[in-house]
């Protein structure tokens, strides 16, 4: 199935292919502040469909491009490489329209120790 989501103002929008059963709550220095719930996917499962300008934030090893809306500040998705070097996408599932967050299994990940 294809999930559709967007930032708060709609400048950034996306489509994500695949089932979402399990999401990650990360304790790294950024995620603990941002408070997103993350789903990881192969890079080509994520398509940016918005018309707005995305800002990009990088930190630590600079391996992940954390994209955010330059209008409303919401960060719907990131792109980077997985542990094996393959291109990966990461979506904040809180930005997906109509997804019932209460039905998801939330897994804590220790990003602070990576």
Binding site for Zn ion (CB under 5 A): 7, 9, 11, 69, 71-72
We find the least distance from the C-beta atom of residue 55 to Zn ion, in angstroms, to be 10
> Coil, strand, or helix at residue 11?
coil
Closer CB to Zn ion, residue 9 or residue 30? 9
DSSP, res 96: B
C-alpha span between 71 and 83 (Å, rounded): 32
Closer CB to Zn ion, residue 39 or residue 69? 69
- C-beta neighbour count of 44 within 10 angstroms: 9
Contact call for residues 46 and 15 (beta carbons, < 8 A)? yes
Closer CB to Zn ion, residue 73 or residue 87? 73
Closer CB to Zn ion, residue 34 or residue 109? 34
Instruction: Return the closest-CA partner of residue 12 out of 38, 47, 45.
Output: 47
We find the least distance from the C-beta atom of residue 77 to Zn ion, in angstroms, to be 12
């Amino acid at each position: 199935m294809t999930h559709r989501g967007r930032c708060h103002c709609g400048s950034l929008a996306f489509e994500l292919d695949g089932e979402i059963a399990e999401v990650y709550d990360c304790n790294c220095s950024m995620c603990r502040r941002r408070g997103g719930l993350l789903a990881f996917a192969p890079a080509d499962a994520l398509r940016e469909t918005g018309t707005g300008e995305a800002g990009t934030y990088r930190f630590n090893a600079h391996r992940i491009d954390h994209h955010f809306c330059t209008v409303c500040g919401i960060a719907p998705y990131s792109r980077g490489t997985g542990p094996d070097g393959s291109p990966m996408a990461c979506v904040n599932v809180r930005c997906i329209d109509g997804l019932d967050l209460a039905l998801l299994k939330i897994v804590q990940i220790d990003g602070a120790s990576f």
